Amino acid sequence: MFENIEFANPDFFWLLCLLPLAVLWYFFKRKEQTASLKISSTKGFGKGGLLPKIKPLLFVLRLLALTAIIVAMSRPQTEDISTRTKTTKGIDIIMAIDVSSSMLARDLKPNRLAALKEVAADFIKKRPNDRIGLVAYAGEGYTKTPITSDKSIVLNALREITYGQLNDGTAIGMGLATAVNRLKESKAKSKIIILLTDGVNNSGFIEPQTAADLAVEFGIKTYTIGLGTNGNALSPIAYNADGSFRYGMREVEIDEKLLEDIAKSTGGRYFRATDNEKLEAIYDEINKLEKTDIEEFKYYKYEEKFRPWILLAGVLLLLEWVLGNTVFRSFI
């Protein structure tokens, strides 16, 4: 009965403590008002019947009516809360992902590209109020998905990113420039690029520093991530006769100086991810660094529920009065 019910004046429930006192008063008062007569035998009197025995029913009805009145005074009500959110500082994010053959190296499990896609998907899900787009690059760069607020589109596009869609190589400048091109006309108050690579710039016709200068010109902050363990990693080194990769140990080479310079010049930060856990921690840190300001409005709607209790009390008091003046009249 009281599920999802709140009381505006719960202090009135203390009045319920008076009801046991009323019960004691009723029985003591009734005993005082009952006359007694000593006689030698009651054989001449008939049995009193059932009505005198259930006469306290009238008092019970009055107690129930008082209880209903106390509940009504406590103002039971239901609360309906509706919220409306307003994004006051939107963030547009482009994730630029290296998809060169070296991203199939197995120093991260199951490989660098698969580990990145899993962590990136979790990052996207944590940014419900931002627009996100994807850029893939290897020997060249292209837009996989323009910035959009539809996270299902971004997640599906992320799952579709695989090696072999582009000429092999690592064109960091091309990847960064493509991301800048997608964000340069954005009206968002904050524009972010998260650029990940596991190698050195060896392809493309746009120098990384030129692309970084473009990011600075358009007010785009860039976070760079170098992906790969320290030392050697099991990496693709050649093709087998069936077209599959042959794996062997290869030294991990990441141009950390370049990535640091890009991040520093654009106001971002450089991170190094040497394993799955570190990669996940990096994306969590970026998520904390780039906060979207949300203004939330709450609207409260109260619906009073005391009227049924008042009606119940009235019915009980009326029933007591009717029974007292009809059925129980000769016994009062």
Q: How confident is the model over 196-223, as a mean pLDDT?
A: 95
Pair 157, 285 in one domain? yes
pLDDT band at 86 (very low <50, low <70, confident <90, very high): low
Distance between CA atoms of residues 147 and 193, nearest Å: 11
Pair 138, 199 in one domain? yes
Q: Residue 147 domain-assigned?
A: yes
Q: Residue 311 domain-assigned?
A: yes
Pull the structure tokens for residue 40. Answer: 């030698």
Pair 77, 102 in one domain? no
Pair 274, 145 in one domain? yes
- pTM value is 0.64
Pair 145, 286 in one domain? yes
Q: How confident is the model over 156-173, as a mean pLDDT?
A: 94
Pair 193, 321 in one domain? no
For the chain, the domain total comes to 2
Q: Residue 205 domain-assigned?
A: yes
Pair 74, 144 in one domain? no
Residue-wise pLDDT tens digits, 34-67: 555 555 555 554 555 555 556 677 778 888 888 8
Pair 59, 157 in one domain? no
Residue 331, pLDDT > 60, answer no
Examine residue 52 and say whether the peptide bond preceding it is cis (omega within 30 degrees of 0): no
Domain that holds residue 119: 91-291
* Collapsed DSSP state (helix, strand, coil) of residue 106: coil
Distance between CA atoms of residues 173 and 203, nearest Å: 8
Distance between CA atoms of residues 176 and 296, nearest Å: 35
- Between residues 22 and 14, the one the model is more confident about: 14
Pair 73, 169 in one domain? no
80-103 burial by CB neighbour count: b if 16+ within 10 A, else e? eeeeeeebeebbbbbbbbbbbbbb
- Between residues 75 and 283, the one the model is more confident about: 283
Q: Residue 39 domain-assigned?
A: no
Residue 3: per-residue pLDDT: 62
Residue 259, pLDDT > 70, answer yes
Residue 30, pLDDT > 70, answer no
Burial-class residue 108 by CB neighbours within 10 Å (0-12, 13-18, 19+): buried
Residue 201, pLDDT > 90, answer yes
